[in-house]
């Protein structure tokens, strides 16, 4: 395994925020904040709404910015009568590298099943992009002691029939649903326990080499104030940031976590 296989990945999910003018300004501000040294230490992916993708792609290419373009969602089919949907094939033509799949909001609000999530992973990898698979439990499931059952079941379904090399290239983001946008955060230790369990499950479902290579993120109310502790955990390779990624100054501090001492 090369030294860059589990290179830290900091991903900003803007959700349904920022029109394309605001997106350009946000990326420009972030580029001003982060130094070459910062971007040499971590990978930073930005996931704007669909309407912003072309504008952000053009800015990244024209200014040779070291950000990685990502999308928030895609349809499992390459084309067809799916009004309002966007295919992985379209995203690939925009130089998108990462696609979030199975986010709790897609599962909970739009009814995406484990089968649909799996099919999207197949489509994303077919078009040479990297899926960021989101898994996580609700508060009710957590209180009922079903966290491992729920999360590891999602992992198994997503990785079904994926080759070892395909699994190695993936990213899995553990996002406890009860912590997303609530201000609540799983303790770094609790996040480590769950993410270690995910890595062990990847080894069972795929291989030890895939488990060693796959990048595992934590998501759920990540901020500059807690990023250093989160990233100090041995199995956490990055974070998927929601609301805090909308503020370039805050997101910049998150990307610079290695400079922030533990409290």
Domain annotation for the chain: domains and CATH numbers: 9-259 (3.20.20.70)
Alpha carbons 187 and 230: distance in angstroms, whole number:
8
Q: How confident is the model at residue 4, as a pLDDT?
A: 47
Number of Cβ atoms within 10 Å of the Cβ of 131: 26
Q: Over 50: is that where the pLDDT of 3 sits?
A: no
Q: How confident is the model at residue 6, as a pLDDT?
A: 86
- CB contact at 8 A, 180 and 104: yes
- How sure is the predictor about 181, in pLDDT bands with cuts at 50, 70 and 90? confident
Q: Over 90: is that where the pLDDT of 223 sits?
A: yes
Alpha carbons 189 and 68: distance in angstroms, whole number:
29
Q: How confident is the model at residue 2, as a pLDDT?
A: 35
- Among 83-92, 123-132, 134-143, the range scoring the smallest mean pLDDT is 134-143
Q: How confident is the model at residue 178, as a pLDDT?
A: 83
User: In the predicted model, what is the mean pLDDT of residues 205-216?
Assistant: 97
User: In the predicted model, what is the mean pLDDT of residues 53-67?
Assistant: 98
Handedness of CA 102, 108, 114, 117 (dihedral sign): negative
Structure-model confidence comparison of residues 20 and 139, the more confident one: 20
User: In the predicted model, what is the mean pLDDT of residues 165-171?
Assistant: 98
Q: How confident is the model at residue 5, as a pLDDT?
A: 61
Among all residues, which ones are annotated catalytic?
103, 175
**238-250 pLDDT tens trace:** 999 999 999 999 9
Alpha carbons 263 and 260: distance in angstroms, whole number:
9
- How sure is the predictor about 262, in pLDDT bands with cuts at 50, 70 and 90? low
């Amino acid at each position: 395994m090369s030294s860059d296989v589990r290179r830290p990945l900091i991903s900003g999910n803007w959700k349904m925020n920022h029109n394309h003018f605001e997106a350009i300004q946000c990326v420009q501000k972030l580029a001003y904040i982060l130094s070459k040294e910062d971007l040499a230490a971590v990978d930073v992916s930005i996931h704007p709404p669909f309407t912003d993708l072309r504008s952000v792609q053009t800015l990244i290419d024209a200014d040779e910015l070291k950000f990685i373009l990502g999308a928030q969602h895609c349809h499992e089919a390459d084309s067809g009568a799916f009004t309002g949907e966007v295919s992985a094939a379209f995203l690939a033509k925009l130089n998108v590298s990462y696609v979030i799949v199975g986010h709790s909001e897609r599962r909970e609000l739009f009814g995406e099943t484990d089968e649909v999530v799996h099919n999207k992973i197949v489509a994303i990898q077919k078009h040479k992009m990297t899926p960021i698979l989101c898994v996580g439990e609700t508060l009710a499931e957590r209180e009922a002691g079903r966290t491992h059952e729920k999360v590891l079941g999602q992992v198994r379904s997503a990785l079904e029939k994926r080759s070892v090399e395909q699994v190695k290239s993936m990213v899995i983001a553990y996002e406890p649903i009860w912590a997303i946008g609530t201000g609540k955060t799983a303790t770094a230790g609790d996040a480590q326990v769950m993410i270690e369990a995910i890595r062990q499950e990847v080894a069972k479902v795929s291989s030890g080499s895939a488990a060693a290579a796959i990048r595992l993120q934590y998501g759920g109310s990540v901020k500059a104030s807690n990023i250093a502790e989160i990233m100090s955990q041995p199995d956490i390779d990055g974070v998927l940031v929601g609301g805090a990624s909308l503020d370039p100054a805050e997101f910049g501090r998150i990307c610079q976590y290695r400079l922030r001492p533990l409290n």
